[in-house]
Amino acid sequence: MVIREAGLIFRGFTLVRSNYHETNEGEIDTDLRSGLLTALLNFAENALSAELVEYFELKRYIIAFTENKIVAEDNTKPEILIAYAILDREKKIEKYLKKIVFPLLKKVAIQFVANYNRKNLTEISQFYRFKEYLDNIFGSDTKNIEEKLQGLFY
């Protein structure tokens, strides 16, 4: 199982993300993708039921996510913070998602809220150090088989 990307979305914009493996050949506007993901999640929760959707399955990838609440400096009410991961689609993915991916995403979201609650979330450069934390959390799950073998033999 390879995690291709992980990150955090707030108000439809990417706050921090780590890209471990490309998901396509062309450039993707991360804010456009974040806005679309936010809209899909909001639609699913409003049209169906809150906390019903845990991941989306695409042809080649799975986008898993968890939600948390954070208070921005410019608001007094908690707002949704989305932690997401893009993974390769494989058979029997559900067990891997439940035992590994969702707990890691929840851990990332909790740590982000602990660090940045009631702060200005529009200044993206302040999250650079959190990107390192994100990389440490996902560790070897971001490597494909060839990269894992290189680490063993070199």
**39-89 pLDDT, tens digit each:** 888 887 777 765 667 888 888 899 999 999 999 999 999 999 999 999 988
Across 41-63, b (16+ Cβ under 10 Å) vs e yields beeeeeeeeeeeeebbeeeebbb
Please give the residue range of the domain that contains residue 122: 3-153
Three-state DSSP state, 73: coil
Three-state DSSP state, 78: coil
For residue 38, what are the CA distances in angstroms to 4, 67, 106? Answer: 19, 11, 17
pLDDT at residue 140, rounded to an integer: 55
pLDDT at residue 119, rounded to an integer: 94
Closest by CA to 124, choosing from 12, 6, 4, 15, is: 15
* Contact in structure between 81 and 109 (CB atoms under 8 Å): yes
Any idea what the CATH number is for the domain that residue 102 is in? 3.30.450.70
**Tally of structural domains, the chain:** 1
CA 51 to chain centre: 16
Q: Tokens at residue 33, please?
A: 């993708």
* Contact in structure between 17 and 31 (CB atoms under 8 Å): no
Q: Out of 25-34, 97-106, 136-145, which region has the weakest mean confidence (pLDDT)?
A: 136-145
pLDDT at residue 153, rounded to an integer: 42
pLDDT at residue 13, rounded to an integer: 93
Q: Tokens at residue 116, please?
A: 């940045």
pLDDT at residue 90, rounded to an integer: 86
Position 115, amino acid: N
Q: Out of 92-96, 103-107, 110-114, 123-127, which region has the weakest mean confidence (pLDDT)?
A: 92-96
